[in-house]
Amino acid sequence: MGLLYRETAAAMPLLEFAQAAAERGFDSVAIGEHTHIPVSRESPFPGGGDLPDAYPEFPDPYVALAFIAAQTSLRIAVTIALVAQHDPIALAKTTATLDRMSGGRLTLGVGFGWNREELANHGKSFADRREIVRDYIRLMRTMWTETEAEYHGTHANLERSWSWPKPIQSPVPVLLGAQAGPRAFEAIIDWADGWIPGGHDLDWLATQLEELRSRWVDAGRDEAGPVVWPMQNFVLTDEQLQSRLERLRELSVHQVLLDIPTAGRDEVLPLLDRYANVLAASR
């Protein structure tokens, strides 16, 4: 079980949160990415309603995760990394270094991005974002794994090059965070190692996983199947969590990510204690 957390200046500090998670036996900490949030706010928040206060305050995830990795034994993850907003050569170096120095603990959850203005500030077309992410991940994976890396795509090019360090994981696991559907599953099968689904309906998830795994096998991907990290983004009672863990275990998911509310210590720590007790009892 992993934890997703969004820090703000008024909330429990991220590093303290990660240390508390490690002390209570959780497996990973995941944090999101937004370089900035344009004030214009023309793009609607995908979750509906107002944009949560935490989003303009996201730290740089790669710097923050380096601190977490240095002070805990947790697995670290970016969920969701906005790969299209980066230079892919530089991001390949950053992620390889982070995986190497953390002892092979990085998972990269990536998304296409929902904020048109944010992406436009980075000089990228919203309409091209899916193809950009695909090209960037392919280039990065080449740099992670090849001694003399070379890649030529529509949106990214790399002449034959050397680049070290190489990540300990060869390559770093890349999971796509996207709504289920033909385009998302095509992308997962094409260039990702797995899926980060959201939603609360586990019957729906079971149906989607059956389809994804069937298409994965038909495409000749590895027999182990796609890596699956479902996100649960509401506060659960002990009974709800226990029931969901049992069902998700039946669905053979690899890790459950619990979305922890952005709040102060007095609210966060008791919630972690409750979840940790349920987790310990279920193992």
Mean pLDDT along residues 14-20: 98
pLDDT for 49 equals 87
pLDDT for 234 equals 79
98-271-5 Cα angle (round to 5): 30
Q: What are 12's two structure tokens?
A: 């429990």
Q: Which of 24-28, 37-41, 93-97, 231-235 has the lowest mean pLDDT?
A: 231-235
pLDDT at residue 218 greater than cutoff 80? yes
pLDDT for 245 equals 94
Tell me what percent of the residues of the chain surpass a pLDDT of 70.
100
Mean pLDDT along residues 235-257: 94
pLDDT at residue 142 greater than cutoff 90? yes
pLDDT in tens, 39-60: 998 899 988 888 999 999 999 9
Q: Give the predicted TM-score (pTM) of the model.
A: 0.95
pLDDT at residue 199 greater than cutoff 90? no
pLDDT for 236 equals 86
pLDDT band at 34 (very low <50, low <70, confident <90, very high): very high
Given phi > 0 = left and psi -120 to 50 = alpha, else beta, which region is 156? beta
Mean pLDDT along residues 200-220: 96
Computed over every residue of the chain, the mean pLDDT equals 96
pLDDT band at 75 (very low <50, low <70, confident <90, very high): very high
Q: Which of 18-22, 39-43, 116-120, 245-249 has the lowest mean pLDDT?
A: 39-43
The answer to whether the peptide bond before residue 196 is cis (omega within 30 degrees of 0) is: no
pLDDT for 282 equals 82
Return the DSSP state at 166. P
* Per-residue three-class SS string for 76-130: EEEEEECHHHCCHHHHHHHHHHHHHHCCCCEEEEECCCCCHHHHHHCCCCHHHHH
Mean pLDDT along residues 198-213: 95
